[in-house]
């Protein structure tokens, strides 16, 4: 049941709106002044507060402030009189979901309420996830506490329940497949199958029939009808791994599926409708593929509806100690050995290393060390010599200098300036020495959501 607190000093408005809202199925508590509204807020939880702006004594902005201070999850919509747009905008700055002008257009009103409640639910979920993370620093079997991974987790949490197509990019070993599975596990499809196809491992001529199936006799060797993976995944999720290796012919068919939900078996003209969610992953730069003509641009945009970028391990070194202890536990249990820790020197070597093979490489190093050691603590001598020596090189010149790609520097600088100037894009672009359009383009390219402040 959704609880709404409705605050307005005008009786006719209170009556009309609460009647209307109750008919929409909401539970409404009408209140005639700001002071009693604040009292109510202190003792009861409301999903939504709808308040008039102009009231004697305690006005709508004060109600809004109190509501947000008491529970930031409560959403607030303010009612403004004719011609008082400024105070509506001010209310949004203070955290109101939106404002609506009187006389209230009922259709618009309901829409606004629904959207506000949606936002509240989303916040609640992210909040739950974050408390869960704080306790355990992990999500399913995915370990990470760095800001970079937290961002990935909350994105996963947000988009997992939807049917949106997701494109996961990142270097080899960063956990793309793990994330794809987490998406599936946190979706309504979790009780159906999660089907994987590694496009890189299949010769081009087989990809198509693997994915879409074929009918008997459609090519030499097609001795009987075969169902494809799309049909296997019906109701579930299909993971297209190394999608950059997909043949152009197969790309056309995948695109057609994304456009109208239908597939065709090789050698068959009858369309088959399937309900499949696609998640794709690649460690290549698909934009290069587009430039070189090996990857269709239209398919790229269809797949890239929700992009998730897995940060390389060297960009989130805070996660390394956590991952080390996670893998120590995992492999001592598996091997039946009683290894339970790592010496500070050995840990320092591992946190300083570049990890070109990312988490997979770290996992292998720990597995090897657990097997090799005859003590219960991992020491530097249990680590591969290549890693020990590369550390010597890096510490030799380690003066806080990190090999940061230009793009990342640029993104950081843009964010810094925007934050400094309260997300005033005009001001920020002046300081950065670029036009506002260029800034806008860059924000979009880096997936930065402009904030209203
Ligand atoms: N955050 C993490 N927590 C725990 N284990 C992880 C994490 N990230 C990766 N791993 C482990 O590292 C290994 C590699 O992960 P995964 O296969 O998902 O990487 P990938 O990005 O798909 O790599 P590739 O591009 O080479 O296919 C797996 O064994 C996975 O369980
Ligand atoms: Mg993979």
Out of 28-42, 43-57, 300-314, pick the least confident: 43-57
Between the CA of 359 and the centroid of ligand 1 the distance, in Å, is 6
Nearest alpha carbon, ligand 1 atom 23: 173
Tell me the three-class secondary structure of 387-423, residue by residue. Answer: HHHHHHHHHHCCCCCCCCCHHHHHHHHHHHHHHHCCC
Closest among 352, 347, 348 to 366, alpha carbons compared: 347
pLDDT score, position 324: 96
3-class DSSP state for residue 137? coil
Tell me the pairing of strands 142-143 and 138-139. antiparallel
Q: What is the C-alpha to C-alpha distance for residues 315 and 404, in angstroms, rounded to an integer? A: 9
Indicate the DSSP class of residue 195.
E
Between the CA of 429 and the centroid of ligand 2 the distance, in Å, is 39
Q: What is the C-alpha to C-alpha distance for residues 446 and 443, in angstroms, rounded to an integer? A: 5
pLDDT score, position 218: 82
Nearest alpha carbon, ligand 1 atom 16: 175
Q: Compute the Cα dihedral for 385, 388, 394, 396 and give only its sign.
A: negative
Percent of the chain at pLDDT above 70? 92
Evaluate if residue 396 carries a pLDDT over 70. no
Q: Could you tell me the pLDDT band of residue 394, with boundaries at 50, 70 and 90?
A: very low
Domains 3-125 and 141-309 belong to one CATH topology: yes
- Residues having CB closer than 6 A to ligand 1 are 142-144, 170, 172-178, 283, 323, 359-360, 363
Q: Per 3-state DSSP, what percentage of the chain is helix, strand, and coil (rounded to 5)?
A: 50, 15, 35
pLDDT score, position 397: 40
Query: Which segments of 207-324 are extended strands (E)?
Result: 213-214, 226-227, 237-241, 262-263, 272-273, 277-282, 306-309
Fold of 406-445: Arc Repressor Mutant, subunit A (1.10.10)
Fold of 314-396: Helicase, Ruva Protein; domain 3 (1.10.8)
Evaluate if residue 441 carries a pLDDT over 90. no
Evaluate if residue 398 carries a pLDDT over 60. no
Q: Which ligand is nearest to the CA of 358?
A: 1
> How many helices (H) does the chain have, and how many strands (E)?
19, 18
pLDDT score, position 402: 58
pLDDT score, position 127: 63
Nearest alpha carbon, ligand 1 atom 12: 360
CATH architecture of 3-125: 3-Layer(aba) Sandwich (3.40)
Contact status, residue 66 vs residue 59, Cβ threshold 8 Å? no
Q: 186: burial class by Cβ within 10 Å (0-12, 13-18, 19+)?
A: middle
pLDDT score, position 124: 67
Nearest alpha carbon, ligand 1 atom 18: 175
Evaluate if residue 226 carries a pLDDT over 80. yes
Out of 154-158, 267-271, 280-284, pick the least confident: 154-158
What integer best gives the mean pLDDT of the chain?
88
Helix residue ranges per DSSP H, 82-221: 85-93, 106-136, 147-159, 176-185, 204-212
142 CA closest ligand 1 atom index: 3
Provide the Cα torsion 377, 363, 310, 211; round to 10°.
-160
Higher model confidence: residue 215 or residue 86?
Answer: 215
Between the CA of 196 and the centroid of ligand 2 the distance, in Å, is 10
Between the CA of 142 and the centroid of ligand 1 the distance, in Å, is 9
Evaluate if residue 350 carries a pLDDT over 90. yes
Nearest alpha carbon, ligand 1 atom 8: 175
- Residue range 106-160, pLDDT digits in tens: 999 999 999 998 887 777 666 666 555 544 434 558 888 888 998 898 888 888 8
Q: 341: burial class by Cβ within 10 Å (0-12, 13-18, 19+)?
A: middle
Nearest alpha carbon, ligand 1 atom 9: 175
pLDDT score, position 137: 38
The helix (H) or strand (E) run that includes residue 286 is: helix 286-292
Tell me the three-class secondary structure of 337-384, residue by residue. Answer: CCCCEECHHHHHHHHHCCCCCHHHHHHHHHHHHHHHCCCCEECHHHCC
Evaluate if residue 393 carries a pLDDT over 90. no
Q: Which CATH class is domain 141-309?
A: alpha beta
Q: Which ligand is nearest to the CA of 282?
A: 1
Q: What is the C-alpha to C-alpha distance for residues 429 and 423, in angstroms, rounded to an integer? A: 10
- Residue range 408-433, pLDDT digits in tens: 788 888 888 888 888 889 899 988 98
Please compute Rg for the chain using Cα positions.
Answer: 28
Between the CA of 194 and the centroid of ligand 2 the distance, in Å, is 14
Q: What are the residue ranges spanned by the domains of the chain?
A: 3-125, 141-309, 314-396, 406-445
138 CA closest ligand 1 atom index: 3
Nearest alpha carbon, ligand 1 atom 27: 172
Contact status, residue 180 vs residue 281, Cβ threshold 8 Å? yes
Between the CA of 241 and the centroid of ligand 2 the distance, in Å, is 6
Contact status, residue 146 vs residue 313, Cβ threshold 8 Å? no
Between the CA of 132 and the centroid of ligand 1 the distance, in Å, is 21
Indicate the DSSP class of residue 266.
B
Query: Which of 151, 171, 174 maximizes ligand 1 atoms within 8 Å of its Cβ, making it the mutation to test the pocket?
Result: 174
Which of 104-113, 247-256, 331-340, 435-444 is modeled with the greatest confidence?
A: 247-256
Out of 51-55, 111-115, 219-223, 364-368, pick the least confident: 219-223
3-class DSSP state for residue 150? helix
pLDDT score, position 131: 56
């Amino acid at each position: 049941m959704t609880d709404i607190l409705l605050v307005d000093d005008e009786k006719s408005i209170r009556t009309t709106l609460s009647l209307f809202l109750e008919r929409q199925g909401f539970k409404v508590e009408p209140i005639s002044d700001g002071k009693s509204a604040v009292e109510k807020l202190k003792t009861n939880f409301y999903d939504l507060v709808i308040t008039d702006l102009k009231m004697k004594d305690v006005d709508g902005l004060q109600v809004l402030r109190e509501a947000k201070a008491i529970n930031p999850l409560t959403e607030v919509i303010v009612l403004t009189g004719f011609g008082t747009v400024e105070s509506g905008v001010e209310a949004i700055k203070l955290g109101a979901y939106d404002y609506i002008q009187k006389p209230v257009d009922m259709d618009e009103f309901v829409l606004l309420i629904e959207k506000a409640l949606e936002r509240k639910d989303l916040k609640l979920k992210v909040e739950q996830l974050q408390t869960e993370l704080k306790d355990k620093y992990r999500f399913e079997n995915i370990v990470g506490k760095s800001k970079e991974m937290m961002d990935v987790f909350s994105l996963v949490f947000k988009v997992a329940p939807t049917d949106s197509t997701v494109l996961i990019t990142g270097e080899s070993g960063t956990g793309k497949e793990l994330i794809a599975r987490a998406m599936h596990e946190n979706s309504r499809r979790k009780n159906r199958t999660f089907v994987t196809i590694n496009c890189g491992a299949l010769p081009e001529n087989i990809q198509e029939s693997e994915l879409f199936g074929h009918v008997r006799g459609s090519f030499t060797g097609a001795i009987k009808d075969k169902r494809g993976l799309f049909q296997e995944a019906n109701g579930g999720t299909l993971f297209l791994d190394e999608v950059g290796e997909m043949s152009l012919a197969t790309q056309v068919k995948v695109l057609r599926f994304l456009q109208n939900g239908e597939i065709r078996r090789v050698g068959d003209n009858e369309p088959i409708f399937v309900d499949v969610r696609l998640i794709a992953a690649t460690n290549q730069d698909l934009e290069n593929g587009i430039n070189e003509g090996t990857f269709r641009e239209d398919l790229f945009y269809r797949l890239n509806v929700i992009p998730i970028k897995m940060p390389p391990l060297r960009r989130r070194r805070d996660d390394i100690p956590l991952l080390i202890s996670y893998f120590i536990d995992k492999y001592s249990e598996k091997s039946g050995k009683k290894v339970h820790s790592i010496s500070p020197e050995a840990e320092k070597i591992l946190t300083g290393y570049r990890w070109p093979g990312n988490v997979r490489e770290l996992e292998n190093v720990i597995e090897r060390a657990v097997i090799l050691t005859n003590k219960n603590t991992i020491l530097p001598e249990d680590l591969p010599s290549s890693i020990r020596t590369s550390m010597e090189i890096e510490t030799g010149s380690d003066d806080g200098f990190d090999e940061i790609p230009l793009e990342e520097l640029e993104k950081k600088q843009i964010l810094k300036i925007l934050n400094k100037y309260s997300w005033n894009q005009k001001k920020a672009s002046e300081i950065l020495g670029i036009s506002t359009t260029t800034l806008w383009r860059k924000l979009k390219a880096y997936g930065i959501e402009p904030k209203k402040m």
